[in-house]
Amino acid sequence: MVPMHFLFRADASLTTGTGHVVRCATLAAHLVKTGHDIQFLCRETVGNLIGWLESQGMPVLRLAQHDGAAEPETADAQASKAAIGNTRYDWLVVDHYDLGDRWEKDMASQADRVMAIDDLGRHHDCDLLVDQNYPNPIHQMYQAAASAKCVLLLGPEFALVRPEFTKLRSHSLARQRDKLSKVLVFMGGSDPLNETSKALNGIALAGISDLAIDVVIGGNNPHRSVVEAAYGRLPSAQLHVQTQQMADLLASADCAIGAGGSTTWERCVLGVPALVTILADNQEPIAVVVAAAGAHRVLGWHDAITAKDYADALRMLDGEKLRRMSEVAASLCDGMGVARIAFHLSEQPEPSIRSKTLHA
């Protein structure tokens, strides 16, 4: 195998969350393990994960933070080229809601091929496009707009789930979730809206006896003191900050309370039922279709949900509902998406042959 060179362009912040960087890091770690070289290119936003990436042994080139609204794609491309210099990559991987086809065209000279990770149905000028979400109308938008050169990898079979979740899949699915005895609360790495505290207030209001609670927040959570006060009123609760044991905590839960983002697929791999709150526009389509399949229950948008809504939803969970949701969740995602994507990245380009389109 000839080692290839990959550049990942992704950002984390208090407003956009940590999901883009984390899922890119998941793919990057797999590529390093299989003998390839990787580099990240990240902007120094408030709440970035540059330090975390470097602690994982992943080299990072930095872009200076800019003021005001999102920088135009052409300006970001110019700054990116300046940071990269004369380095050329086999693959450029971009996972960023503010960067699309204009940026990809401007950056095409820096790499042989471009891979985009997206779930908004935007136009892209790339060779490989990944949308890990459950089949929904957005996938049809990609299929209608994709160029002949672009391979589409659509669906949870390509979900970028960390290997620690996949390793615990058999163990977690073997558990008997026939009673609500342990709940995990996780609203994303930043949770700028402090939905965590509201959920904890709902758990207290539910008054379920002998209920153990694990509360997970990111190191950048701006509401940590409020969360600590809320979980402190629950004697059986434990707080975990920027934990490395997320897979173990989730596997031991009978139900999760969380957002509708990338954690959806971690829950599905482990067959964990969930009560889901929608925190952002991009979460709604996937949350709705996964709920329709029966893997979790959507409570609604965060601004319309009260602590009482969390309490009522928890009281309604019995053994039969938990088992049924667990079975459906496990059927949606097997956790092998990283390996499947890496296989396509390792394929040599065949410009004379129309690329195949895959979907779940």
Digit-coded pLDDT (tens) for 22-57? 999 999 999 999 999 999 999 999 989 999 999 999
Strands 274-278 and 255-259: parallel
CATH 3.40.50.2000 fits 163-332, yes or no: yes
CA atoms of 303 and 298, how far apart (whole Å): 13
Digit-coded pLDDT (tens) for 159-180? 999 999 999 999 999 998 999 9
pLDDT at site 357: 40
pLDDT at site 355: 34
Where do the CATH 3.40.50.11190 domains begin and end in the chain? 5-161+336-359
- pLDDT surpassing 80 at residue 70: no
Sheet harboring 297-301: ordered strands across? 237-241, 212-217, 182-186, 255-259, 274-278, 297-301
DSSP state of 333: -
Digit-coded pLDDT (tens) for 91-117? 999 999 999 999 999 999 999 999 999
Q: What percent of the chain has pLDDT over 70?
A: 95
- pLDDT surpassing 50 at residue 360: no
pLDDT confidence band for 348 (50 / 70 / 90):
low
CATH topology assigned to domain 5-161+336-359: Rossmann fold (3.40.50)
Cβ-Cβ contacts under 8 Å for 105 (sequence gap 6 or more): 125
Digit-coded pLDDT (tens) for 182-231? 999 999 888 989 999 999 999 999 999 999 999 999 888 889 999 999 98
Digit-coded pLDDT (tens) for 216-271? 998 888 899 999 999 888 989 999 999 999 999 999 999 999 998 889 999 999 99
Neighbours of 151 (CB within 10 A): 18
Backbone φ/ψ region at 8: left (φ over 0), alpha (ψ -120 to 50), beta: beta
DSSP state of 13: B
Where do the CATH 3.40.50.2000 domains begin and end in the chain? 163-332
φ, ψ at 92 (rounded to 5°): -110, 120
DSSP state of 207: T
pLDDT confidence band for 276 (50 / 70 / 90):
very high
pLDDT at site 138: 85
Q: What percent of the chain has pLDDT over 90?
A: 77
